Structure 1
Amino acid sequence: MRLLRQIWITLAVLVGAVAASWVVYKPDATQRGTWQSDTGAYLLHLTAFTATLYSETRQTCLQQIRFPAHLKLVEWAEGATITAEGDRLDLSVDGAFEPLTFTRINALPAACGPADPETATPRAVFDTMWDAMDAHYAFFDLYGVDWDARRDLAPAPDATMTDAALLDLLMTALDGLDDGHIRIGTPFGVRSPRVWPDWARASPVFDRGALTQIARRTVGADLTLVEQTAIEYTLLANGVGYVLIPVMDINTPFGAQSGPAMALAFEEVATAMADARALILDIRYNPGGSDTIAFGIASHFTDTALPVFTKTSRLGDGQSTPFTAALAPFDDTALDMDVVILTSELTGSAAEIFALAMRELPQVTVMGTPTSGAMSDILDIKLPNGWDLGLSNQTYRAMDGSVFEGVGIPPDVMVPVDVDALLAGEDATLRAAFDRLR
């Protein structure tokens, strides 16, 4: 009974502390109200007690997420901050380089509300998906898809369909857009029109986990796992270091930002590799994660700040003002030995951003095959039945102006995937990297 009483007293104190601090950290008068994103995809409605983000299309305004408007707790837990001045509001989110920018509007449209799977018709779901892609997707021309013609696939207004049939219809409409950042999220899984490369379909055992295990066996040495991350590393007797980066993710401590947290975590690797004569960074099977985490790792390879790429977002028929991403050094003791980065068509998203930044450094050579070519941040849109649509609305450009969306970042040294070797449990690409560094 005494323990139970102590627990209730502790909970009461915590609730009281949060309630008291809410007065300080609730949205102030400059922040409260309704805001529309410059991309036209989102509405943000702030009151003294709640923050609600809506995704908006020509036909719908659907609740994406709602959370208590205790701005300090949101910052600590999710790394999100809100600043407002006049009719402009910036929403900065952990993992993104630049903030989402909003402009104040008079009021929240009356149609805005939560998705309702019980009343959503297949036609409403299709139309919302088509409208969102039509307004925001950046690469129809790249893939040669006539999106206007796909409107003819819309079901009749009174049509009824099973969830499976509706999902198949949406995927038929998206066919030909070989983009891993287009995805439909449902309660029974995620579908994408992305087509895996031929070599990865050569065997049912060629998933990311199995391929990564082949790489581990080929290294032939025990790998050390970096705490709170999936990164593994070893320094071989010949002075060559191997670092496996399976995903751009970290178990971020409460109240910390993921990018700086990864930079601190990777210091363990940098210290272990300080005397290495060469280094292999393996991101071939890395599907991505957070761009700022990628920069946290890359910050150990430069001792000066330098711009590494630009990015723009689609705004109607044009593009937003370019944002330049600069790589800042972790400290003044950069790893400046020869570095080989291994890539493949399964290198995606934030892992590609890592390669895009690192290829600007003089000590880096990229080996393997081109990356997947899906670099845009994902714009998320809620569909009327509660499903989620993700799409690419941003264009990344290397500092020389090159765009690698759809075609992938090309390696400096092309090493085709040896399927026969992989089937035999041997990683020929990794062997080629070791041979090069010998």
Structure 2
Amino acid sequence: MKKQITILSGILMTVLFSLTSCQETMVGYENNNSSESNFQQMWEKFDSHYGLFLVKNIDWNEVYASHLPKARAAKTDAELFAVLSSAVHTLDDKHINIYTNSKQLTDYNSGENGHIPAQEGFDFKVVREKYLTDYQEITEDFGYGKLTPEVGYIHIDAFKDKLSVFENGMDKALNALASTKGIVFDIRDHTGGSDHVSAYIASRFAGSRKLFMTAKKRNGPRHDQFAAPVEWYIEPTGKTQYTKPVILLTTSTTLSAGETFTFAMRENANVTHMGTKTAGAFSDVIAHQLPNGWIVTIGVGDYRGSDGKSYEGIGITPKIVSLNQKSDVLRGVDKTLESAIERLR
């Protein structure tokens, strides 16, 4: 999980710096670092950009009314942090973070009511050392190998590299695993990245063209004001497609582009989803810096599965539920992976 926080922090700073020239200027706040000003600016930024008020049935005006007096009364950073945390807690969204750059206050994640917990039911080190043979690392986030002579394995924990990296990597992986009877595709520690990469990789396992997601993003001041929905499809892509059985493994820390990838893979008839349900945090985010230097992240979209339903805050439930126990993982045993291997033999 330390790696996840590092990745998120890097992404957030990249987003923040890349958007500096086009962020809105909020009159009256530039030199006002009061607790009230910090709260109002955060509230207004969510009010104008957050994409899930209607999905979550949130009365954001009520949040303003109930928290403004507390913000006015806040005299310390700790008191302000408590007010801001309480306000975004209402949204119950794992994509919403408050980064304070403070050892005393640390950071806050809305969907976890605090800090994202460390994953206890999966450790890639266990898989690599105890189960894999001939593992080939394409990048630090992407590799492949074999679990048995007949069962292949692909592990990706982020889609942060350029698409070309995954195009070349998938060519290598699928060529090396072409003779297998099936593949375990493991994204149990996936931290997110590009939805275009999600669609591309899932399409390497596709037998036909299918809708897997629709997404729309806020583009106006009203909570119901969005750009036209964009439809996302999988279809046979790349030099070769792998259409033999695939088992996709997820956990509750599989989030963001890992979840859009799950949407896409589940549309392939040869893919079986196994593990525990995903995090339930799909939307793209923007980062905004408050007058006091703290950074907040805001989900700007409304992402739906091919069934038209929103899974924000819910997650995608696997067809086969399998939960590893911490005690097993600590002694080097991955029972979910072992079950997946047996199903593919």
SS at the partner of 1:301? coil
**C-alpha deviation, 1:135, in angstroms:** 3.0
CA distance in structure 1 between the aligned counterparts of 2:265 and 2:113, rounded to whole angstroms:
25
Counterpart residue type for residue 112 of structure 2:
V
Q: Give 1:337's match in structure 2, choosing from 244, 254, 257.
A: 244
**Matched residues, number:** 319
Partner of 1:232: 143
Change (3 A) 1:144 1:275: same
CA distance in structure 1 between the aligned counterparts of 2:70 and 2:325, rounded to whole angstroms:
48
Q: Are 2:109 and 1:192 aligned? A: yes
CA distance in structure 2 between the aligned counterparts of 1:295 and 1:424, rounded to whole angstroms:
36
More displaced, 265-274 or 147-156?
147-156
Partner of 1:11: none
**C-alpha deviation, 1:270, in angstroms:** 1.4
**C-alpha deviation, 1:383, in angstroms:** 2.0
Q: Give 2:296's match in structure 1, choosing from 383, 389, 408.
A: 389
Q: Are 2:127 and 1:215 aligned? A: yes
CA distance in structure 1 between the aligned counterparts of 2:147 and 2:73, rounded to whole angstroms:
63
Counterpart residue type for residue 223 of structure 1:
Y
Counterpart residue type for residue 434 of structure 1:
I
Task: Provide TM-score, normalisation by structure 2.
Answer: 0.81
**C-alpha deviation, 1:230, in angstroms:** 1.5
Structure 2 stretches lacking a partner, 5+ long: 1-18
Partner of 1:29: none
SS at the partner of 1:223? strand
SS at the partner of 2:204? helix
Q: Are 2:68 and 1:154 aligned? A: yes
Partner of 1:437: 344
CA distance in structure 1 between the aligned counterparts of 2:214 and 2:34, rounded to whole angstroms:
40
CA distance in structure 2 between the aligned counterparts of 1:112 and 1:52, rounded to whole angstroms:
18
SS at the partner of 2:292? coil
**C-alpha deviation, 1:165, in angstroms:** 3.4
Partner of 2:267: 360
| CA displacement 1:150-177 (0-9 Å, x = unmatched) | 2222257875633343223211222243
Change (3 A) 1:158 1:245: closer
CA distance in structure 1 between the aligned counterparts of 2:133 and 2:47, rounded to whole angstroms:
51
Partner of 1:174: 88
Change (3 A) 1:380 1:130: same
Q: Is the 8 A contact 1:122 1:155 kept in 2?
A: no
- Structure showing greater relative contact order (alpha-carbon pairs closer than 8 Å, 6 or more residues apart): 2
CA distance in structure 2 between the aligned counterparts of 1:161 and 1:295, rounded to whole angstroms:
48
**C-alpha deviation, 1:433, in angstroms:** 0.8
Q: Give 2:51's match in structure 1, choosing from 131, 138, 141.
A: 138
Partner of 1:426: 333
| CA displacement 1:91-148 (0-9 Å, x = unmatched) | xxxxxxxxxxxxxxxxxxxx499x55xx421111101111222333233465565433
Change (3 A) 1:417 1:178: farther
CA distance in structure 2 between the aligned counterparts of 1:173 and 1:308, rounded to whole angstroms:
33
Q: Which has the higher strand share?
A: 1
CA distance in structure 2 between the aligned counterparts of 1:305 and 1:143, rounded to whole angstroms:
31
CA distance in structure 2 between the aligned counterparts of 1:295 and 1:52, rounded to whole angstroms:
29
Q: Is the 8 A contact 1:259 1:294 kept in 2?
A: no
| CA displacement 1:373-412 (0-9 Å, x = unmatched) | 1001113333222332212231212222132111111211
SS at the partner of 1:292? helix
Change (3 A) 1:144 1:309: closer
Change (3 A) 1:424 1:386: same
CA distance in structure 2 between the aligned counterparts of 1:424 and 1:55, rounded to whole angstroms:
49
Q: Is the 8 A contact 2:206 2:236 kept in 1?
A: yes
CA distance in structure 2 between the aligned counterparts of 1:169 and 1:153, rounded to whole angstroms:
7
Partner of 2:190: 286
Give matches, 1:20-419, under 5 Å: 53-56=21-24, 61=25, 111=27, 115-116=30-31, 119-140=32-53, 143=56, 145-151=58-64, 152-155=66-69, 161-188=75-102, 190-195=107-112, 206=119, 211-226=123-138, 228-250=139-161, 258-302=162-206, 305-314=209-218, 315=220, 316-318=222-224, 319-419=226-326
**C-alpha deviation, 1:308, in angstroms:** 2.1
SS at the partner of 2:232? strand
Q: Is the 8 A contact 1:143 1:176 kept in 2?
A: no
SS at the partner of 1:309? strand
C-alpha RMSD of matched pairs (Å): 2.9
Q: Is the 8 A contact 2:53 2:223 kept in 1?
A: no
| % same residue | 30
Q: Which has the higher helix share?
A: 2
Counterpart residue type for residue 51 of structure 2:
A
| CA displacement 1:298-353 (0-9 Å, x = unmatched) | 23223655432111124424243211113354325211110100011110001111
Change (3 A) 1:432 1:366: same
| CA displacement 1:157-213 (0-9 Å, x = unmatched) | 87563334322321122224331111123333542122289xx96xx7x469x7222
Q: Is the 8 A contact 2:52 2:301 kept in 1?
A: no
**C-alpha deviation, 1:422, in angstroms:** 2.7
SS at the partner of 1:241? strand
